[in-house]
Amino acid sequence: MITEDPEELKNNTSSANIAAKDKTMAVEAQVERFSRLNRVLHILMIVSFISLALTGMTLKFSYTGWAAFLSGLFGGFEFAGYIHRFSAVIMFIVFISHIIDLIRIKQKEKKSFKEFLFGSSSMLFNKNDLKDFIGSLKWFIGLGGRPEYGRWTYWEKFDYFAVFWGIFIIGSTGLTLWFPEFFTQFMPGWVINVTTIIHSDEALLATGFIFTIHFFNTHLRPEKFPMDIVIFSGRVPLEEFKLDRPQEYKELVEKGELEKYLVEPYQPIVIRTIKIFGWTALTIGFSIIIWIIYAMLFAYR
Amino acid sequence: MYRRVRYDKPEKIFIINFLNIFLIFLLTPSLYSQDNSDCLMCHEDNSLTGTRNGKTISVFVNEKKLSSSVHSDIDCISCHVDLEGMDAHDENVEKAKCNFCHDDIQAKYDKSLHGKALAKGDRLAPGCQDCHGSHDIIPVKNSKSKVAPINIPGLCGQCHKEGSTVQLQRNIPQTHILENYSESIHGEGLLKKGLIVTATCASCHTAHDILPHTDPKSSIARRNIANTCAKCHAEIEQVHRKVIKGALWEKEANVLPACVDCHQPHEARKVFYDQGMADQDCLGCHNQKNIKASNDDRSLFVDYNGIKDSRHANISCSQCHSQVSPSHKRPCDSIIQKVDCTSCHAAVGEEYQLSTHGKLNAENDPNAPVCSECHGTHEVLGKNNPISPIFPINIPSLCAKCHREGESATVRYKGTEFNIIKNYTESIHGKGLMKSGLTVTATCTDCHTAHRELPHTDSLSSINPVNIPSTCGNCHHGIQEQFEKSIHSPKISNTDKELPTCEDCHTAHKIIRADSEGFKLKIMDQCGRCHEAISETYFDTYHGKVSQLGYTKTAKCYDCHGAHDILPIENPSSHLNRKNIVETCQKCHSSANRQFAGYFTHATHHDPEKYPWLFWTFWGMTGLLLFTFVIAGVHTILWLPRSLQWRRELKRRKLNNLNKNDNIDPHDNRRS
């Protein structure tokens, strides 16, 4: 349906500048996918999430040797607790910043609520996602080709709302554990026991999901292996973008907005820094998974 | 001349004299000898004086007193024999004589200290009258008698009180006799309680044959003292079998301590009875530095100065080395047995024989410690001397001689305590004792006793579980009181289950401060040894989890349940009683309220009956987890092969792109 001929693309972009650029450095043309704020928020999210996971897991799996070791590394349990609560605050700030950003974007782009919520760049699920999901399943079992994914795929939207849900559930139960004296003024004491279980198991779900499913979906699936740094750099090579997000590419070309998103790639030093950070986060994440599996299989009680 | 002629015929004179005497007796005796009234004619004048030895004295005789005295029926001249037949007499009258009637007593007196002194002309020596009086002697049963028991101390004290001429000028080895006596049990009985059968001076020293203790015939000579005391204390031998082995009374009575060795005469004994073998006799040989035993060459030198500083400074050699025979040329050649301390320390000896040490000794085990190994031999220093091996600070190293790892006692030992000495030294007690020099802290002997050490399995042992609270309570009395009211005390809980004692939580030799981190963290395991299920559920909650991570500020068992005063929850004094629980929570959570206290500190999500909310929350969450992971997992696994394919496609696409041969649309390829 879409012609992926680069010559045609050049023509379609109808910009001599781009065309000239393309001739000399076609490989290097990149499309900006994430705003600077979103990148910063995601980095903050990674740091706070990993801190929360590490400090929280020491408590959840306190009966393992690893827990005691890590707790010591954080300067003892008491300090680990401070780190946990500090990271939680960061996470809340990230969450609130994102909401404020959304409102700002809506105002800036002067979109109606309907457009904002159900448009192609909205994170909300829509009919297209169902189509893509079915299309994907078909593709998986060999009944069709790769669906033409748009700005956001359904699994990305799922991850996004998982975080929404997670912050709500883990955050609210976490507050009851942080301030039990306050909450027991209008709740029975056993609610704290219940919120402990919810907080702990929801955190296990979040950690497990992020460090396995999310890691696979974004970094480990063979076409991105070993990692996709787009969330840090915010940009993907145009070539890759065309293949990965054909629907979005098509829309941008149709609207003639592609040029707006074309940017130059980062310096190698920036990319290297990003990769070091990415590797660190990945390593910690996988370590936590190994630790969780170990604790569940060999030391569970 | 006439007279002379008349007297030339002896027969005549005899007859005349005989008749005269006959007439005197037969007819008018009163006409020829003095009647008492004759004497009193002059002597009833109370201003009548005479002189004796150049001193003017009253010679008034109170007829009333005389007639009420024991001698009322006796004529004056029966005692004043030198005045018989005299109408009037000059001034130098001899003292009245008592020996015509009291000849046996006089004989005793003459041999006594007082009698001999008098014979020597000692003007301080008392005669009969000095004690008994003269014309006014009344029966001894009359309490007014000068020699009635109640008056004797005062009577003797006239000369033997402190500051008297006798006490100052004569060789009397005792001082403060009267004061000491009056404070003694005898003196108190007599003088304060009027018990006239108690011992007075005369009871021990006798009334008339008073002799120095150095005289073998004296009632207070070493060998006679027991008999003297036994006059009143008849069964005293039975009483003292606890202190002095019975057999010794018969066999070696000479070496036994005399009563006064322990029960000082009057009050404080200042003289040592140097009888039998004197120390000097022993030291004749044993103060030579090179003296050695003929059989095994061990030195037999005795440092006498060392003994002088010891607790036995006043005990003579022969009292311990009791088998000496003073009559032998070498008195010690009859010694075949080692010193037996139980001759004097019988009660301690009995304890020792009960102990493991004593039992091993009875089996002739070479490792068994005997008295001297702990207390020393001649230099027995007692427990208050800092250089003594049994001074508290030195006790651990004393016991370590056998109980340090690898030494004889540890080789034999089959129990569960190891590195006892090292652990003790690092324990709170050991640090207090050895580092801070706190001598009242617990040493080995405070818990194990000094002489009756027994394994904890023995019901008599001080460290038997039943006895441990009172053993620890010797110092930690307040805690013992709390503990014995608690649910863990056998006095409260009637149960077949084993109840914990101090040692179960605090250990035996590794006791550390209860506020130290190590102790705080360990206590959960200690409680968990018996309360297994409840401690596991504790570890499922926040408190348990963080304490497992080494955080000590969180609530541990004793923070809520109490440490020594654990009580059932129904007890109004229990920390967990409904009345007190909010306060207990508030110890850490200052704004805790009634609902806050409803938090389950021992909750588990494995019990649907007891904690349905927790159970279903847990399984709800687990279900959510499984559901999410299964869906996402299946999605991912299905994706994997396609993704690999896509990767190859992309590579090919890239290559084509580089080769400017990029007409391939993967989407189209798969879709058409």
> At A43, is the secondary structure helix, strand, or coil?
helix
Of B540, B614, B650, the CB nearest to A223: B650
**Residue B612: closest CA among chain A residues belongs to which residue?**
A194
Cα–Cα separations (whole angstroms), residue A226 to A115, A217, B68: 36, 11, 138
- Assess whether pLDDT exceeds 60 at residue B106: yes
Q: Does A300 touch chain B (CB under 8 A)?
A: no
Q: Does A194 touch chain B (CB under 8 A)?
A: yes
C-beta separation of B599 from A184 below 8 A: yes
- Interface check for A223 against chain B (CB to CB < 8 A): the answer is yes
Residue B201 near residue B172, CB atoms below 8 Å:
no
pLDDT at res. B243 = 53
Tell me: pLDDT of B376 over 90.
no
State yes or no: pLDDT of B480 exceeds 90.
yes
Which residue among A67, A190, A225 sits closest to B600, beta carbon to beta carbon? A190
Pairing verdict, β A30-32 and B55-58: unpaired
Contact A77 B550 (CB under 8 A): yes
Measured between CA atoms, how close is A113 to chain B, in angstroms? 31
Chain B residue with CA closest to A78: the answer is B551
Inter-chain residue contact A3 with B665, CB threshold 8 Å? yes
How many beta-carbon contacts under 8 Å exist across A and B? Answer: 172
Cβ–Cβ contact A23 with B under 8 A: no
Is the per-residue pLDDT at B92 higher than 80? Answer: no
Whether A1 and B667 lie within 8 Å, measured CB to CB: yes
Give the residues across from A31 on adjacent strands.
Answer: A236, A262
- Residue A146, classed as helix, strand or coil, is coil
Residue B598 and residue A177: Cβ atoms within 8 Å?
A: no
Percent of chain A with pLDDT over 70: 90
Helix (H) or strand (E) holding B52: strand B49-52
Average pLDDT of B259-269? 64
Kindly determine whether residue A184 and residue B632, on different chains, have CB atoms separated by under 8 Å. no
> Which of B593, B595, B600 has the highest number of chain A CBs within 10 A, making it the mutation to test binding with A?
B595
The shortest C-alpha distance from B607 to chain A (Å) reads: 13
Q: Are B420 and B380 in contact (CB under 8 A)?
A: no
Q: Check whether B449 has a pLDDT greater than 90.
A: yes
Between residues B657 and A63, which one has the greater pLDDT? A63
Dump pLDDT digits (tens) for B38-74. Answer: 788 788 888 888 777 777 778 888 888 888 888 888 8
Nearest-by-Cβ selection for A77 from B536, B546, B641: B546
CA distance A271 to chain B (A): 21
Each residue's pLDDT tens digit, B342-371: 877 888 988 999 999 999 999 999 888 999
Q: Which of A2, A146, A243 sits opposite B670 (nearest CB)?
A: A146
User: What mean pLDDT do residues B276-304 have?
Assistant: 82
pLDDT score, position B246 = 59
What does the pLDDT average to over B376-384? Answer: 87
Alpha-carbon gap: A142 to the closest alpha carbon of chain B (Å): 9
Smallest Cβ–Cβ distance between B662 and the set A6, A201, A225 belongs to A6
Of B539, B540, B599, the CB nearest to A192: B599
Q: Mean pLDDT of all residues in chain B?
A: 82
Partner B, chain A 53-112, Cβ-Cβ below 8 Å: 58-60, 62-63, 67-68, 71-72, 76-78, 80
At residue B11 the predicted structure's pLDDT band, cuts being 50, 70 and 90, is low
> Is B646's CB within 8 Å of A78's CB?
no
Tens digits of residue pLDDT in B214-243 = 888 888 888 788 888 888 887 776 666 545
Q: CB distance B671–A145 less than 8 Å?
A: yes
Tell me whether residues A201 and B643 touch, CB distance under 8 A: no
Domain boundaries, given as residue ranges, for chain B: 1-26, 130-271, 340-512, 516-604, 625-671
Q: pLDDT category, B540, cuts 50, 70, 90?
A: confident
pLDDT band at B273 (very low <50, low <70, confident <90, very high): very low
Structure confidence at residue B73 (pLDDT): 82
Contacts of B657 in chain A (CB under 8 A): 6, 26, 239
Tell which residue, B427, B564, B578, B595, has the closest CA to residue B508: B427
Question: In Å, how far is B466's CA from the nearest CA of chain A?
Answer: 36
Q: Which residue has the tokens 């229990």?
A: B574
User: For chain B, what's the residue count?
Assistant: 672
Position B382 pLDDT exceeds 80:
yes
Name every residue whose Cβ is closer than 8 Å to that of residue B521 and which is 6 or more positions away in sequence. Answer: B547, B550, B552, B556
CB contact under 8 A, A184 and B595: yes
The reported pLDDT for the residue numbered B345 is: 84
Band of residue B529 on the pLDDT scale cut at 50, 70, 90: confident
- Contact (Cβ atoms closer than 8 angstroms) between residue B317 and residue B304: no
Contact, B157 vs B191, CB < 8 A? no
Candidates A1, A2, A62: best to mutate against B (most CBs of B within 10 A) is: A62
The pLDDT tens digits for A180-217 are 999 999 999 999 999 999 999 999 999 999 999 999 98
Q: Provide, as residue numbers in chain A, all residues whose Cβ is less than 8 Å from the Cβ of B605.
A: 197
A189, A191, A159: which is closest to A172 by C-alpha?
Answer: A191
Give the nearest chain B residue to A247 (CA atoms): B667
pLDDT higher than threshold 60 for residue B299: yes
Residue of chain A whose alpha carbon sits nearest to that of B600: A190
Q: Do A196 and B541 touch (CB under 8 A)?
A: yes
A-chain residues within 8 Å CB-CB of B600? Answer: 189-190, 193
User: Which residue of chain B is at minimal alpha-carbon distance from A133?
Assistant: B635
Neighbouring-strand partners of residue A237? A30
- What's the whole-number mean pLDDT along residues B13-29? 59
Q: Do A62 and B548 touch (CB under 8 A)?
A: yes
Residue in chain B nearest A223 by alpha carbon: B647
What pLDDT was estimated at residue B33?
59
Question: Are A181 and B589 in contact (CB < 8 Å)?
Answer: yes
| A136/B595 Cβ within 8 A | no
- Contact status, residue B596 vs residue A184, Cβ threshold 8 Å: yes
ipTM: 0.88
Min Cα–Cα distance to chain B from A72, Å: 8
Q: Give pLDDT, residue B193.
A: 83
Per-residue pLDDT, averaged over A150-178, amounts to 92
> What pLDDT was estimated at residue B631?
94
Structure tokens at A66: 């690893």
Encode pLDDT of B625-650 as tens digits.
999 999 999 999 999 998 888 888 88
User: How far off is chain B from A246, nearest CA to CA, in Å?
Assistant: 9
Q: Which of B202, B262, B268, B273 is nearest to B232 (CA)?
A: B202
pLDDT given at position A20: 42
Mean pLDDT, residues B589-593 taken together: 92
Summarised one tens digit per residue, pLDDT across range B113-139 is 898 888 888 888 888 888 888 888 888
Taking contacts as CB-CB distances below 8 angstroms, the residues of chain B near A71 are 549-550
Q: Which of B539, B621, B667 sits opposite A148 (nearest CB)?
A: B667
The whole-angstrom distance between A139's CA and the closest CA on chain B is: 8
When scoring A1, A66, A201, A244 by the number of chain B Cβ atoms within 10 A, the one with the most, hence best to mutate, is A201
Quote the pLDDT of residue B250.
61
What is the per-residue pLDDT for B235?
73
Check CB contact of A177 with chain B, cutoff 8 Å.
yes
How many Å apart are CA A144 and CA A258, to the nearest integer?
A: 28
Helices (H), A61-186: 65-73, 76-109, 113-118, 127-140, 154-178, 180-183
Q: How far is CA A108 from CA A151, A153, B236, in A?
A: 19, 24, 117
- Using the Cβ of A24 and the Cβ atoms of chain B, whether some distance falls under 8 Å is answered with no
- Distance from the A162 Cα atom to the nearest Cα atom in chain B, whole angstroms: 10
Q: Do A68 and B548 touch (CB under 8 A)?
A: yes
**Most B CBs within 10 Å, among A55, A73, A146, A149, to test the B interface:** A146
Q: Interhelix angle for A127-140 vs B612-658, to 10°? A: 70
Question: Hey, what are B612's tokens?
Answer: 């349905």
% of chain B surpassing 90 pLDDT: 26
Strand partners, B299: B292
- Report the C-alpha gap between B587 and B596 in whole angstroms: 13
Looking at chain A, which residue has its C-alpha nearest residue B654?
A: A239
A11 — pLDDT class (breaks 50, 70, 90): very low
